[in-house]
Amino acid sequence: EHRGWVIELPSHQLTYLNPAINTIFGFSASDFYNDPSLWTKQQHPDDAAYVLGLETAVLEQGFYDAEYRIRHANGEVRWLHDRSWLVRNEHGEPIRIEGIASDITEQKLAKEALQASEEQYRSLIESSEAAISMVDGDGRYLYLNAICALPFGVPPESLIGKTVQDLFPP
pLDDT digits (tens, 9 = 90+) for 93-113: 999 999 999 999 999 999 999
Question: Does the pLDDT at position 8 exceed 90?
Answer: yes
Q: Could you tell me which residues come within 8 angstroms of residue 119 by beta carbon, excluding any fewer than 6 positions away?
A: none
**HSE (side-chain half, CA atoms, 13 Å) at 140:** 7
pLDDT of residue 64: 96
Q: What is the mean pLDDT of residues 157-170?
A: 89
Banded pLDDT at 157 (limits 50, 70, 90)? very high
Percent of residues, the chain, with pLDDT higher than 70:
98
pLDDT of residue 1: 43
Burial classification of residue 141, based on how many CB atoms lie within 10 Å of its CB (0-12 exposed, 13-18 middle, 19 or more buried):
buried
pLDDT of residue 32: 95
pTM over 0.85: no
Q: What is the mean pLDDT of residues 5-16?
A: 94
Backbone phi and psi for residue 83, each to the nearest 5 degrees, phi listed first: -120, 135
Supply the mean pLDDT for the chain: 92
Question: Which range is most confident: 65-69, 155-159, 161-165?
Answer: 65-69
pLDDT digits (tens, 9 = 90+) for 100-151: 999 999 999 999 999 998 999 888 888 888 999 999 999 999 999 999 998 8
Q: What is the mean pLDDT of residues 83-96?
A: 96
**What's the N-to-C CA distance of the chain in angstroms?**
60
* 102 beta partners: 2, 81
